Chains A and B, each alone.
Chain A
Amino acid sequence: MNSDTLVSVQNLSRYYGYFCAVNQISFEVKRGQILGFLGPNGAGKSTTMQMITGTLAPSTGQITVAGYDLLEQPLPAKLALGYLPEQPPIYREMLVIEYLRFCAHLHRIPAQAITSAVNRIIEQCGLTSVTQRLIGNLSKGYQQRVGIAQAIIHMPAVVILDEPTIGLDPIQIREIRELIQSLGTEHSVILSTHILQEVQAVCNHVQIINRGQLVLNDTISGLFAQMQTTHLQVGLRRPPPLRVLAQIPGVETVEGQDHDHFRIRHPTDNNPAEALVERAVAGNWGLYELIPEKRSLEQIFVDLTTEQQDINLSHSPKQDTLLSNSSEANFSEKVDIDQVAGLAADRLHQ
C-alpha cells in the first residue's frame, strides 16, 4: 500500500443477523480518484459507506483511511473523513451558519481558521443567501447542500457522499458535480448513486455492487471500452446474400432482421464497418444505414445486476436493441436537460 492510497478496504463483510448485506468486499481508493459506487436498492452501498465512515462496525474485515486503521485509531482516521449520509445530518433548530460553525468545531478546525473555513464553504456550496435562516425551514435542496457543506468543511482527504444530488434541481446538480470534480483533484471521493449519468459525468472509477458483492471494479475508460460496439446495424436497399456479408473480414455472424436490415456481430478489436462500406459501394448494395450499437452504462449495469453474479455479456438480440434504444433515448434526454440547465445558468449569471 503506498501513501497515495487513501482508502483501503479488505475482505469487508457485514451481517445483519443471518442476512449478509456485504460479502467479502476488497478495494482501494487512491488520491485523485472519484469512485462511483453503483448498485440496485439494497445491494449494500450504504452499508459499505457506513462502515468506511465508522458509523457501523464491520462483521469482519479491515478498513484503512489515510493510513490509519479505522478500528484501532478511529480518531485520526475520522479526522480525514467527510461523510454525507443518505439523509443529511442537520439540526433543524439551528441557523445555517451556527450549524456550519458547529461542524467546523466538531472536525477540529483550529479556532482562528473557523470563520474563513465557514465563509469559504458557504461560498462554495452556494449558501450565501440562507446563512441566517433556520435549517428546518430550508427547502430540501438547500438542506442537501448544507449536508454537503458539512461533509467537506474541513477539507478531508476522503469525502464520502451517499447520493449527494438527490433532491436538487438541474442547475444545482451541475454545480455540485463541478464541486465534486474539483474536490477529486486533491482528495478522493466515494460517491454512491443510482443515477448512471452522474457516474458518467463525474467519476473516473466505477464499482458496481450487487447482493453484497463487487461485480465490477474498473476505471471509467475501461468501462467505456466495455461499452464499445460489438454489433452493427446495417440497412441495405439491394442486399446481397447473407454469406457474402459473412465473408467480410471481421464479421462473426450475420442475422437478417427483415428484408433489408441486418445485424452484424463482430469482435471488439476488429470493426468491419470500413470494409463493409467499401464492399457496399463496390457492389452497389445501396447502403443507407450503418449504426454501431453501443452498450450503454445502463445496459452493463442491468447485465451485471440482473444476471445473478454471472458476467454474461451475450443476450438475446431483441432485448439488446430494445435496451440500447431506451438508453439512447435516456442519453439524449439527459443532454437536453444539461443544455437547458447550462442556458439557464448562463442567463442567471448575466
Chain B
Amino acid sequence: MWIIAARELRSLLSSPLAWSILAVMQLISSWNFAKVVELFLRPDIQSRLANEPNAPGITMMVVSSLFSWIGIILLLVMPLLTMRLISEERRNKTLPLLLSAPVSMTGIIMGKFLGLMSFLLIILGMLLLMPLSLLLGGHLDFGHLAAGLLGTILLLGALAAIGLYISTLTAHPTIAAISTFGVLLLLWMIDWTGYTEEQSGVLTYLSLMNHYQTLLEGIFSTEDVIYYLLFMALFLILSIHRLDSDRIQ
C-alpha cells in the first residue's frame, strides 16, 4: 500500500502537470493573501475593527478567507490530479502489474489515495507558510488555524475520493477529468439552491462547501468531520468495488 502511494507521489512529482498546479496554486493564493492582508491593514478597516466589540481577528479574516479560496481553487484543480489515477493505468495496461502482485484491491485504492493525499499535503504545506509568515508581526489563533487546516484536509480528501472513483470508471483520463469536474461543481452548487429555499435542508446538508465553512470559522463540530470521513469512505469503497468488478464484468 505504501509502496503504491510512494510510486504515485513520485510519478506525480515527475510530471510537469503537478509542478504547474503547484505554481498556479501558490500564485493565486499569495495574490489573494496579499490582498486580504492589505485590506486588513487599511486604516479605515483597522479603525472600524477597533470600534467593534466582537471584531474578527487576523486569523479569522485572513486565514479563513485564504483557506476558503484554496478550497475553491482545488475544487477546480482536483479533476486534473485525480483523472490519471486509475484510468491511466488502464490505458497504459499497467493495471495487470498491480492486480497480479500480492496486493489487495483495498491496498491498490488506498495506495493511490494516500499518494495523492500526500501531494495535496505538500500543496497545503506550501500554502500554510503564508499565514505562518504573519507570526513575524503578530500572533495567530492556532486552534482556529488547526480547525481550518483540518477542514481543508478533509475537504480535499472528499474531493480526491470522488475523483478517484470516477477515474476507476473509465480508461480515458479526459473523460474522468470532465466528469469529476461536473460532479464536484454540482456538489458545490447544490448549496446555492439551499440558500434560496429554506426547506431544501437535505441539499444543503449534502453540499461539500457548507460543512467546510463551519470548520473555517473555527468551529470544530464532530458532525462535519464525520460527514467528510463518511464521504471519503463511501467513495473509496465504491472504487474498490468498481476495480474488483473489473475482473468479473
Contact = CB atoms under 8 A, between A and B. Distances in A.
Interface of A: 50, 53-57, 74-76, 78-79, 81, 83, 85-87, 89-94, 98, 102-103, 105-108, 150
B199 interface: no
A53 B100 contact: yes
B101 interface: yes
B96 interface: yes
A50 to B, nearest CB: 7
A91 B104 contact: no
21 contacts: A53-B96, A53-B100, A54-B100, A57-B247, A75-B103, A75-B104, A76-B102, A78-B103, A85-B93, A85-B96, A87-B93, A89-B93, A89-B94, A90-B92, A91-B94, A93-B14, A94-B7, A94-B10, A103-B97, A106-B102, A108-B102
Contacts of A94: 7, 10-11, 14
A150 B103 CA distance: 15
B247 A106 contact: no
A90 B7 contact: no
Nearest to A85: B96
A105 B3 contact: yes
B112 to A, nearest CB: 13
A106 B99 CA distance: 11
Interface of B: 3-4, 7, 10-11, 14-15, 92-104, 247-248
Given A74-B102, A75-B102, A93-B11, 4 more contacts: A83-B96, A91-B92, A102-B3, A106-B3
Contacts of B92: 89-92
Given A78-B101, A92-B92, A56 B11 contact: no
Contacts of B3: 102, 105-106
A86 B99 CA distance: 15
B102 A89 contact: no
A66 B104 CA distance: 18
Contact of A55 (B11, B15, B247): B247
Contacts of B104: 74-75
A89 B11 contact: no
A182 to B, nearest CB: 22
Contacts of B14: 93-94
A57 to B, nearest CB: 4
B96 A106 contact: no
Q: Which 8 A-B pairs have the closest CB atoms?
A: A89-B97, A83-B100, A57-B247, A53-B100, A55-B99, A89-B94, A105-B3, A87-B93
A55 B102 contact: no
Contacts of B4: 106
Contacts of B96: 50, 53, 55, 83, 85, 89
Nearest to A92: B92
Q: Which of A83, A91, A103 has the most CB of B within 10 A?
A: A91
Contacts of B103: 75, 78, 106
A78 B104 CA distance: 10
A168 B207 CA distance: 55
A98 B101 CA distance: 17
A78 B3 CA distance: 17
Nearest to B2: A105
Contacts of A75: 102-104
A43 B96 CA distance: 20
A282 B47 CA distance: 131
Contacts of B101: 78, 103, 106-107
Contacts of B10: 94, 98
A86 B100 CA distance: 14
A268 B229 CA distance: 74
A92 B11 CA distance: 10
Contact of A90 (B94, B95, B102, B248): B94
A86 B10 CA distance: 26
Given A105-B3, A106-B103, A150 B15 contact: no
Nearest to B7: A102
A345 to B, nearest CB: 31
Nearest to A17: B249
